[in-house]
Structure formats: C-alpha cells, structure tokens
A and B are shown apart, each in its own frame.
Chain A
Amino acid sequence: MCLCGARSVFSGTTIEKKILQKIIKIEHAHAVLLSKLHYIMWPARSFAVMWQQLGEDLGPGELYDIGFKAGEDGADEIINLMGFRTMTIPMRLRMLMRMFEVLGFGVAEWIKMDPKQNQVILHLHNMPVIDEGKQLYGPNSLVSHHYMGIFAVHMRKELGVENADLRETQSVAKGSKFSEWVTGVKFK
C-alpha cells in the first residue's frame, strides 16, 4: 500500500519538497522515512488524550522530559539518514521543519534562530494534537509540553542550539492562535 494522500502532500517545486518526495512514503498505515525510520500515524485525538493523561498524572515537567528523551532516538536517526552533518544550519532548519509539517507536527515560524547565542523564538501554528488538546481540555490542556520536549531535543541535536530547553510564552490552550516557545528555563 502506498500514497494515503501523500501525493498531494508532497506536490510542489521547492528543493526540500522534491527531496522529501523521495524519502517519505506511507506504507501499511504508517509513514516510513528513507525506507528505514518508521512513524506511527494516529488520530490527533488519541495522542491528545494520551499526553493529557500523562501530564495530569506525572506533571508537565515529566511530560516534557519524556518527549525530550524519546526524541533523542528519532533525532539521531534523522541526522544519520538525512545526512544533516553535511548541510548548513539554514538548510537543516528548512528540511527539518518541512518534514515536521508533513508529519503533522504543525507549521513552525522562526521568529529568532541564533544557535551561537542559544536564542530561539518559535511560533508553532496548526499543530493538530495541540489544537485537539485545546478542544478537549480548554485552558487546562498540557499537551504542548510533550511537543516542546521533542522540539527541544531536535533543536539541540540537529541545529546545534546548546541550551535548547524551551518554555511556553504563548499558549494555544489559553487562547493564542499559535504556541510561542522560547529558550530559557524549562517549565517545571
């Protein structure tokens, strides 16, 4: 089985899209990157319910830490599979964010990205799991903390931001149109 709507997802003319066209396929209802890295593909609601429950039972700091730890594996595999070491930081950034977008991690808008100064401000739009969390739990949604952990580990490993711990300064759950995440003290 193939496609699952992937043809229209990857249509376009930019270099990144053309590269991604060759590296991501949908097989057996999960996505496969470069024929090696497997992604599960769930309804956003199922993810939201799971992260919220973990956030309530373990606390948002632990939910962040689990995302960070789980993301380490994925980040290492992406670095090796996509040959990130040979790319410039801007190219890595474009590739990574485009890939996250396609994988359903939302659309990232980098307001500030200075790895040398460890200064990052990120706006994340249209993240389906965070949106679902808001719909289900309103301002009490904790879902974004897990994804902050995931983005933090990718920023550290792929983009070289040493102090990549993120905190949320604008929250979709509390009414913002996007999540604003900045480097700084990790939420605990």
Chain B
Amino acid sequence: MLIGAQINELILKKLLSTEKNQIKLFNNLSYSMYPARAMSVTLEEVKTRKGSEYLRALGYKTGKAGVDHVRDEMRIYEKMLPDRLKDIKVTLTILGFGIIDDLDLKEKSVAFSIPSHPVIGPAIERYGSEAGAISFYEGLFAAFINEWFQFPTDLSTEVLSPDNVLMRGEKRV
C-alpha cells in the first residue's frame, strides 16, 4: 500500500522515530494508543451522558488539536518533507485518525468514504448506524476539512456497511 512506503520514508528520514519506547513524529509529537473497540465504548458512554451534538463538538476539538499540532511541526520540517507527505489523506493516516478514500471537494460540497475504520466499524456493529462514534468522527473529520481547505462544514454520514461509510457536507456560509 502506498501509505506504507510513505511511512517508511518518514522513518528513513528520521522524521518518525522512537524514544523511551514511545513513537514520535518529528522527534517531538508523541503518540499514544487506545484499543479501538474500547474507544467505540467510550464514545457511546459519552453519547449516553451528553448526546450526539456534544460528541460532534468534542470530535472537532480533538481533531483540531491534532491538525494544529502536526502543522506546527510540519512548518519546522517543511523543507525535509516530500510534497506528497503534505497531503491531507496522508496526514490523517499518519495521525491515526483513519484512511479516507474518494475525496471529492467541490466549490460548495465535500464527500469522501471511510473504509474499514477500526473504531467506526465495531461501533456500527455494536450500536447501529446512530452510534456515538459516527457523530464524534463527523466532528473530527470536519475539523480536518476546515483547517486544511478552509471549508467549514457539518458532515453527515451514510452507512453502507460497518466497513464502508460515506460522509458528506455542504460549505457553511
């Protein structure tokens, strides 16, 4: 897969490394992990307590924190980064937020698919198409679309199957 080659390139250029058994990007951005199914449980627990709109806002804030942080670091390392590694899809993948396909960004609308997402898929299987994970990731991906393309939008989701969901949004004016 193409992403694999890009990750390996980051390792070779020493932009992705390990320190004290932690994975670090640009020697500064620390990663942590969380069981994907457990995250779907966490998000459903939050939905029970606070509702879907709250989750959407929480996803937006979480995604924006990630994109802001990585962009700060990217500016420092910009000359070392191949252009294709500055792509939104690659950045989303490197940040661990998921892989998006078929990104269709028009003047007033955006659409993309999310195949085999490790949190969204199990959440749909367990809680159905209204799962809290969907609202959370609508907010998270909206943050990326807005920050990357200056395209403010509220995303909605069509579940084709647990392994294939579509997200769409109109540009907010």
Among residues 1 to 42 in chain A, which have CB atoms less than 8 Å away from a CB atom of chain B? 1-5, 8-9, 28-31, 37-42
Chain B residues closer than 8 Å to A58, beta-carbon distance: 49-50
Identify which of B29-37, B80-88, B146-154, B158-166 touches chain A.
Answer: B29-37
Chain B count of residues within 8 A CB distance of the other chain: 49
* Cβ A43 vs Cβ B20 within 8 A: no
Chain B residues closer than 8 Å to A53, beta-carbon distance: 58, 61
* Cβ A46 vs Cβ B63 within 8 A: yes
Quick one: which of B4, B8, B58, B70 contacts A54, CB cutoff 8 A?
A: B58
**Nearest CB in chain A: distance from B97 CB, A:** 7
* Cβ B42 vs Cβ A66 within 8 A: yes
How many inter-chain residue pairs (CB < 8 Å) link A and B? 165
B74 at the interface (CB under 8 A from A): no
Given the interface pairs A28-B93, A45-B65, A126-B20, the reply to whether A1 lies near B7 with Cβ below 8 Å is: yes
> How distant is the Cα of A117 from the Cα of B70 in the complex, in angstroms?
46
* Cβ B62 vs Cβ A66 within 8 A: no
Of all chain A residues, which has the CB nearest B92? A29
Q: Is the interface of B mostly helix, strand, loop or mixed?
A: helix
> How distant is the Cα of A126 from the Cα of B18 in the complex, in angstroms?
13
Among residues 67 to 117 in chain A, which have CB atoms less than 8 Å away from a CB atom of chain B? 67, 69-74, 77, 101-105, 107
Given the interface pairs A53-B58, A70-B45, the reply to whether A40 lies near B50 with Cβ below 8 Å is: no
Of all chain B residues, which has the CB nearest A46? B66
**Nearest CB in chain B: distance from A6 CB, A:** 8
A166 at the interface (CB under 8 A from B): no
* Cβ A31 vs Cβ B33 within 8 A: yes
> How distant is the Cα of A74 from the Cα of B41 in the complex, in angstroms?
10
Chain A residues closer than 8 Å to B25, beta-carbon distance: 43
